[in-house]
Amino acid sequence: MTESTKPPLTIRMNDADNVAIVANDGGLAAGTVLPGGITLVDRVPQGHKVALRAIAKDEAVLRYNVPIGFALKDIAAGCWVHERLLHMPQARSLENLPEATRKIEAQEPLAGYTFEGYRNADGSVGTRNILAITTTVQCVAGVVDFAVQRIKTELLPKFPNVDDVVGLEHAYGCGVAIDAPDAIIPIRTLRNISRNPNFGGEVMVVSLGCEKLQPERLLPPGSIALKADEVLDVVCLQAEKHVGFMSMIDSIMASALPHLQRLNARKRETVAASELVVGVQCGGSDAFSGVTANPAVGFATDLLVRAGATVMFSETTEVRDAIDQMTARATTPEVAQAMVREMAWYDAYLGRGSADRSANTTPGNKAGGLSNIVEKAMGSIIKSGTSPISGVLSPGERATTKGLIYAATPASDFVCGTLQVAAGINIHVFTTGRGTPYGLAEVPVIKVATRTDLATRWHDLMDVNAGRIADGQASIADVGWELFKLMLDVASGRKKTWAEHWKLHNALVLFNPAPIT
Ligand code: CA
């Protein structure tokens, strides 16, 4: 990779920081003189840290004014500060955390923003009009795939107002310890995915018959809004009436028909921006994630909260090192305690596998300049903006309140996305620095690139270029507003995301902390 020919540019996040990151494409060569007068001792790759002054052995390396590590040896000013020079701090104790201590001035409500959505009987609003076919067990996946293809080619053209047909396939349902305490997580996740606002309340189920997760256990009476005389719409493949494969396919298609008719009759109507339920996450992160894309998302998060919407941030291992900031931002001690409960549960979960939060960072994160999980976490939590945190969801629970919510999920992109779909999102915002083609069949995914280089190379995969912030071409507020308005356009169906355009759909991946049998 060739070094940049542009003037050297470094970004420091806080005046107290003793490191800054190199912004130039291709990095900067040894001998380059930075605007502050420091000469680079080493070549420093793009996104990596340079020491702004001499850092003594055992001294804290500060980024975001937080110790992201301690020097393993003396580091001279101008040196490349990489993960091999750092000792990672211990995780913050979960005892004696500040609870709801930070007084956050109420921000001015943001009125007048609307989108065109599908209002549902349960009060939620969809941004897409999709027929979802719930499955109770992985065994039926091949049959459901076959049926979905037939529905798409033979039925869907007759119902132009229906956007898509999606089989909700997964790896759960049988061969699992279904009575283990943690089995509630995958079960309620599947239940709440079936209730996602984009499916219009039209629940239909395909079951095998002999599986542990029986349809009435997945969707017990009262869990979906059925009319009084209605029974759960289930196609059971082992039912005696099915003679041969085509009988199963015909049965699924016949079952789909009335759902498609009802979905097709729906119309978009103008609703307030407060009906947005937005899930934010990052993946394939680099050192720019916390400088460009995530701050822009954080700005948009504050706009959403001001507009009365629901917005959730997640990724427990990337919140763990900032838990004291988060509990201080809680609206009540109860919300702070719920966050601590989720962190403690996750610490124990990781501990059962002889791992800890440091298992999070990837080779790509490190190549992108993120030395460890502490540095990654400080850049990740910026997506939550500055608003008070007013609610906490355990994995797989559905959001019932407005405002900024912490939805506890693993950081794994596809597991986090799956759990946010269960939490009821109708828009998903995803930031990436290294690049990922991530997408979901259930909910539109808006992807935000952290660097112009990525946004340029992946011009037909990235929806927003937050790299303009590092280039000096746009402010965090500019990109935040752009993203907010794009969310309203995408929610209204006026615009499609690149992942929708190419139909890039990741699998639903359930979080199952319970044993497999
Ligand atoms: Ca993630």
**What is the Å distance from ligand 1's center to 412 Cα?**
5
Q: What is the pLDDT of residue 228?
A: 67
CA–CA distance, 362 with 163 (Å, rounded to integer): 36
What gap in Å lies between CA 41 and CA 79, rounded to an integer? 5
- pLDDT interval class at 247 (50, 70, 90): very high
Q: Could you tell me if 450 and 467 are in contact, meaning their C-beta atoms sit under 8 angstroms apart?
A: yes
Tally of domains in the chain: 3
- The whole-number pLDDT of residue 449 equals 98
Residues 310 and 433 occupy one common structural domain = yes
Distance 48 CA to ligand 1 centre (A): 21
pLDDT above 70 (res 14): yes
Tell me the CA–centroid distance for residue 430 and ligand 1, in Å.
8
Q: Is the pLDDT of residue 5 over 80?
A: no
Q: How far is the CA of 355 from the centre of ligand 1 (A)?
A: 18
CA of 436 to the centre of ligand 1 (A): 11
Do the beta carbons of residue 96 and residue 50 sit within 8 Å?
Answer: no
17 in a structural domain: yes
Task: Give me the residue label for tokens 């996305």.
Answer: 417
Distance (angstroms) between ligand 1 centre and the Cα of 317 equals: 10
pLDDT band at 158; cut points 50, 70, 90:
very high
Per-residue pLDDT tens for 126-136?
Answer: 999 999 999 99
CA distances from 187 to 42, 170, 215, 393 (A): 52, 11, 11, 15
Q: Are 291 and 254 within one domain?
A: no
Span 138-159, average pLDDT? 98
Which band of pLDDT confidence, cut at 50, 70 and 90, is reported for residue 225?
Answer: confident
Q: 464 - beta bridge partners?
A: 448
Model pLDDT, residue 2:
55
d(CA 155, CA 148): 10
* Domain, as residue range, for 187: 130-264
Long-range CB contacts (< 8 A, 24+ apart) of 483-486? 483/296, 483/297, 483/299, 483/300, 483/429, 483/446, 483/448, 484/113, 484/300, 484/303, 484/304, 486/446
Distance between CA atoms of residues 488 and 486, nearest Å: 5
State the average pLDDT over residues 472-477: 94
Looking at the fold, whether 304 and 440 belong to one and the same domain comes out as: yes
Residue 374 belongs to a domain: yes
Residue 116 lies in a domain: no
Q: How far apart are CA 422 and CA 428, in angstroms?
A: 12
- The pLDDT assigned to 3 comes to 56
Helix 245-264 to helix 141-150 angle (10° resolution) is 60
Q: Which of the four pLDDT bands, split at 50, 70 and 90, describes residue 493?
A: very high
Shared domain check, 457 and 308: yes
Structure tokens at 314: 């997640």
What separation in Å is there between the alpha carbon of 374 and the centre of ligand 1? 15
User: What tens digit of pLDDT does each residue of 39-95 get?
Assistant: 999 999 999 999 999 999 999 999 999 999 999 999 999 999 999 999 999 999 999
Q: What's the 82 CA to ligand 1 centre distance in angstroms?
A: 22
CA dist 252 and 236 (Å) reads: 9
DSSP, collapsed to helix, strand or coil, labels residue 28 as strand
Beta strand segments in 101-233, E: 114-119, 125-126, 130-135, 164-168, 204-207
The CA 121 to ligand 1 mean position distance, Å, reads 32
147 and 237 assigned to the same domain: yes
Q: Is 428 domain-assigned?
A: yes
| pTM of this structure | 0.95
256 and 327 share one domain: no
Domain membership of residue 517 (yes or no) is: no
Does residue 21 carry a pLDDT above 80? yes
Q: Which residues pair with 310 in a beta bridge?
A: 277, 403
Would you say residue 94 lies in a domain? no
Q: Is the model more confident about 358 or about 300?
A: 300
Q: For residue 2, how far is its CA from the centre of ligand 1 (angstroms)?
A: 30
State whether 372 and 452 are in the same domain: yes
Q: How confident is the model at residue 229 (pLDDT cuts 50, 70, 90)?
A: confident
Q: Is residue 417 part of a domain?
A: yes
The answer as to whether 321 is a domain residue is yes
Average pLDDT, the chain: 95
Q: Is the pLDDT of residue 1 over 70?
A: no
Per-residue confidence at 104, pLDDT binned at 50, 70, 90? confident
Of 53, 1, 6, 20, residue with least CA distance to 375: 20
User: What CATH number corresponds to the domain at position 16?
Assistant: 2.30.130.110
Residue 513 CB neighbour total at 10 angstroms: 19
Pick the closest to residue 117 from 337, 386, 296, 309 (CA basis).
309
- Are 69 and 14 in the same domain? yes
What DSSP designation does 109 have? P
**CA dist., res. 85 & res. 165, Å (int):** 51
189 and 78 part of one domain: no
Q: For 332-342, give one letter per residue: b (16+ CB within 10 A) or e.
A: eeebbbbbbeb
Our CA angle for 307, 282, 43, nearest 5°, is: 125
Residues 301 and 391 in one domain: yes
Looking at the fold, whether 191 and 319 belong to one and the same domain comes out as: no
pLDDT surpassing 70 at residue 176: yes
**Residue 93 carries which side chain, given as an amino acid letter?**
S
Rounded to the nearest angstrom, the distance between the alpha carbon of 20 and the centre of ligand 1 is: 24
Q: Mean pLDDT check: name the lowest of 94-108, 240-254, 319-333, 377-391.
A: 94-108
Whose CA is closest to 138, among 213, 234, 227? 213
* 399 and 451 part of one domain: yes
